[in-house]
Amino acid sequence: MVRYILWRIVVMIPTLVLISMFVFTIIELPPGDYFESYVAEMRAIGEKADMQEIEELRARYGFDKPAPIRYLRWATGMLVGDFGYSFEYRMPVNDVVGDRLWLTILVSTVTIALTWLIAFPIGIYSATHQYSWGDYGLTLVGLIGLAIPNFVLALVFMYFANIWFGTSIGNLMDPQYLGQSMSWDKFKSILEHLWIPVIIIGTAGTAGMVRRLRANLLDELQKQYVMTARARGLHPFRVLVKYPLRMSLNFFISDIGSILPTIISGAEITAVVLSLETTGPLLIRALQSQDMYLAGSFLMFLAFLTVIGVLISDIALALFDPRIRLKGGSMK
């Protein structure tokens, strides 16, 4: 196991290097750069850009040099915690992310926890009461949750909140706390606004997890070892928890590789609709404006979390399920 983990960690290094090259190339593919896009936007609204400032920024951050040199400066800077400068916001990337990263982690973590708390009991009930009225009803609700996109559900919530209560449910806090440092009053305001995006973002995830847990658990409950345990007179709850439930959670463990980057990306489209102060809209805007350092740093962070998540899920699967081994052996 230790040898396997060390080998995977060593493999992560060239993997991340290749991903960084790919990310840099993709961001560089569109014609021009941020400064040309900025000048075009200023001209479109009838204003004049400060060309002297733009040329100074181009020279300072190496945009007058070849792409390989710019890549090396960006990649080596990330190794020491320097993620570059955001031209869109005129400040370092670390400062731009700021509270948005922690707000995104808060929203995503609460959403994931709520999803698990709701999905596990419903999935177990549906599998153990197959074809009952409760199973049919929960299946219908789950299919509706899967069919409705999160951003459409957000629009529906916003519409009825405005019609019924005359209020806007956008943002993660009251307007007076925007841009302020964290305080107890600001934290209470965030908690008051948190439940709406959590419900909206968690709907599809909960429905999907219920369906997968039900399908996997039904498959395990029909296997021979479960029938044998029942025939020996073991308590139904013990029969369920001892092996079938444990074996049906493999998909849940393998999802760790996708859950970690999701915590940071933060349901981008839904965040845009609800005007949430998370990192999702920030990433979309950075890609649209070709803000290379901000967009590239985000994408590299997501790639790093994905690689770490896959490693954790592989190790956890080997420990959780005795049928899985990290190294194959001959079968007799």
Question: What is the rounded distance in angstroms from the CA atom of residue 116 to the CA atom of residue 110?
Answer: 10
DSSP state of 329: -
Question: What is the rounded distance in angstroms from the CA atom of residue 115 to the CA atom of residue 121?
Answer: 11
Model confidence pLDDT, tens digit, residues 114-132:
888 888 899 899 988 888 8
Is 80 exceeded by the pLDDT of residue 179? no
Question: What is the rounded distance in angstroms from the CA atom of residue 11 to the CA atom of residue 130?
Answer: 44
Model confidence pLDDT, tens digit, residues 63-85:
778 888 888 888 888 888 888 88
Please give the pLDDT value at position 266: 60
Question: What is the rounded distance in angstroms from the CA atom of residue 159 to the CA atom of residue 168?
Answer: 9
Measure CA 10 to chain center.
Answer: 25
Percentage of residues of the chain with pLDDT beyond 90: 3
Percentage of residues of the chain with pLDDT beyond 70: 94
Model confidence pLDDT, tens digit, residues 152-165:
888 888 888 878 87
Model confidence pLDDT, tens digit, residues 136-149:
998 888 888 888 88
CB-CB contact of 150 with 204 (8 Å): yes
The DSSP string of 270-299 is HHHHHT--SHHHHHHHHHHTT-HHHHHHHH
What is the average pLDDT value for the chain, to the nearest integer?
81
DSSP state of 92: E
Q: Which of 235-239, 262-266, 323-327 has the lowest mean pLDDT?
A: 323-327
Domains within the chain, CATH numbers bracketed: 99-279 (1.10.3720.10)
Is 80 exceeded by the pLDDT of residue 35? no
For residues 329 and 128, the model is more confident at: 128
Please give the pLDDT value at position 327: 54
Model confidence pLDDT, tens digit, residues 41-56:
777 777 777 777 777 7
What band does 106 get if pLDDT is binned at 50, 70 and 90?
confident
